[in-house]
Structure 1
Amino acid sequence: MTCNDFDQAADLTIWPRSTPARTARSRPYATVREALKAAAAALDEGNVQTWIVTERGDILSPRWIEANLRAGDPARGTARA
């Protein structure tokens, strides 16, 4: 993803790891940056997997999200605490 890609709208879906998939929650965000911030908060809370789908159709998998949050948010250039 390029820096400009982080400005597009995105949907974040949070899948509980311990319950059936039909209980997943999805929410739209104005930007990928906002969705990443919400994904980080959800991951900090507990046993979930997060997926982000951008308005252009890019799918950011749980592994991509977690790896990029650990390495530092590519959209903001900051590391996750």
Structure 2
Amino acid sequence: MTCNDFDQAADLTIWPRSTPARTARSRPYASVREALKAAAAALDEGNVQTWIVTERGDILSPRWIEANLRAVDPARGAVLP
């Protein structure tokens, strides 16, 4: 992803690790940055996996999200290219 890709709309899905998948919650966000902020908050709350789907159809996995949280919080994750 390029820096401009972080401005596209995205849906964040939060999957609880301890309950059946049918309890996943999904919500639209105006940008990937906003979805990353919400993913960070969900990860801080507990035992969940987060997935982001961008408006262009890119699927961002839990590992990608955790590795790129620094885009919204410099105290976290790895530095973006």
| TM-score computed with the length of structure 1 as normaliser | 0.86
RMSD after superposition: 4.1
Q: Which runs of 5+ in 2 are unaligned?
A: none
Deviations 1:24-61 (A, max 9, x none): 00000000000000000000000000000000000000
- In structure 1, C-alpha distance between the alignment counterparts of 2:42 and 2:10, rounded to whole Å: 16
Point out where structure 1 has 5 or more consecutive residues left out of the alignment: none
Alignment CA distance shift 1:22-1:58 (3 Å) = same
1:15–1:21 contact (8 Å) kept in structure 2: yes
Q: Percent identity?
A: 93
Report if the CA contact (8 A) 1:9-1:30 is conserved: yes
- Between the two proteins, the alignment pairs up a number of residues equal to 81
Any conservation in 1 of the 2:67–2:78 contact (CA below 8 Å)?
no
Relative to 1, partners in 2 of residues 1:32 and 1:23: Cα closer, same or farther, differing over 3 Å? same
Residues 18, 47 of structure 2: 8 Å contact kept: yes
Q: Please, what TM-score do these two structures have when normalized by structure 2?
A: 0.86
